[in-house]
Structure 1
Amino acid sequence: MATVELTDDTFQQTVTDNDIVLVDFWAAWCGPCRQFAPIFEKSSETNPEVVHAKLDTEAQQRIAAVAGITAIPTLMAFREGVLVFNQAGALPAPALQQVVDAVKGLDMAEVHKAIAEQAPQEA
């Protein structure tokens, strides 16, 4: 599956309607972003069951601000709508595959349990 472009209007639905979503926050003027783009694209072909999405931080500034993006590229991974990975910097292909494998291997029942246990503490 090729990468999909996200907008302020499609971000939330894409993250919540798909099991695993990787989001590459990027900008056209960013050299490391341009270096990471073909690696990310190749991963989308290697892992078609994972949504690979790109969000242009210049064009979609509201979502970039809400997501707290302070450096690009930034990669975020969502599983069942939950942010499970967030890292700035371009990753080499083997490291990106490690992230994909780790996200696929998460025990989401445990993740949801941990979130539920934290919620009363934050209230």
Structure 2
Amino acid sequence: MPYQARHLPQAPTRAAVDALPGTTLLEFGTPWCGHCQRAQPLIENALAAWPLVAHLKVEDGPGQRLGRSFGVKLWPTLIALRDGREVARCVRPQQAQEIHDAIALAIAQAGVGDGAA
């Protein structure tokens, strides 16, 4: 699943996220957030190297339980998951390499280094 330009119409539940198989990049933010908009090319660039990594883009804000359950305070917050477990986090990334490294760390948790999710 490549880079997703749009937020999900409805956020998944925490239980659904915890049950995700493989490697996932979970992105929290909003469409109107300037920091989020500036990070989009970085996220897209980083994900281009990992075509099998799922990307879930979740709109966050007051009353949004999923973001609170992950302790999200600033946007964008990117969380690299391996089998539903947080492995790495990037808050307001400034370079695609930060995101790439987080994804690589999540993949390495499974002992897979060839880009497989």
* TM-score bracket relative to the smaller structure: 0.7 to 0.9
Cα pair 1:25 1:54 within 8 Å, conserved: yes
SS at match of 2:73: coil
1:44 maps onto 2:47 in alignment: yes
SS at match of 1:99: helix
User: For structure 1, which segment, 15-24 or 54-63, has the greater mean C-alpha deviation from structure 2 after superposition?
Assistant: 54-63
* Superposed displacement of residue 106, structure 1: 2.0
User: For structure 1, which segment, 38-47 or 77-86, has the greater mean C-alpha deviation from structure 2 after superposition?
Assistant: 38-47
Instruction: Tell me the residue number matched to 1:61.
Output: 64
Residue deviations 1:15-64, cap 9 Å, x none?
A: 52330111111112321111111221233332111111111113872212
CA RMSD of aligned residues (A): 2.5
| TM-score after normalising by structure 1 | 0.71
Gaps of 5+ in 1: 109-123
Q: How many residues align?
A: 108
Cα pair 1:33 1:90 within 8 Å, conserved: no
Cα pair 1:40 1:52 within 8 Å, conserved: no
SS at match of 1:17: coil
Larger radius of gyration: 1
Cα pair 1:24 1:53 within 8 Å, conserved: yes
CA distance in 2, matches of 1:10, 1:91: 29
Cα pair 2:77 2:90 within 8 Å, conserved: yes
Identity %, equivalent residues? 23
Gaps of 5+ in 2: 112-117
Structure 2 letter corresponding to 1:21: T
Higher helix proportion (structure 1 or 2): 1
* Superposed displacement of residue 11, structure 1: 5.8
Structure 2 letter corresponding to 1:50: V
> Which of 69, 72, 76 is matched with 2:79 structurally?
76
Structure 2 letter corresponding to 1:30: C
* Superposed displacement of residue 74, structure 1: 0.8
| TM-score after normalising by structure 2 | 0.74
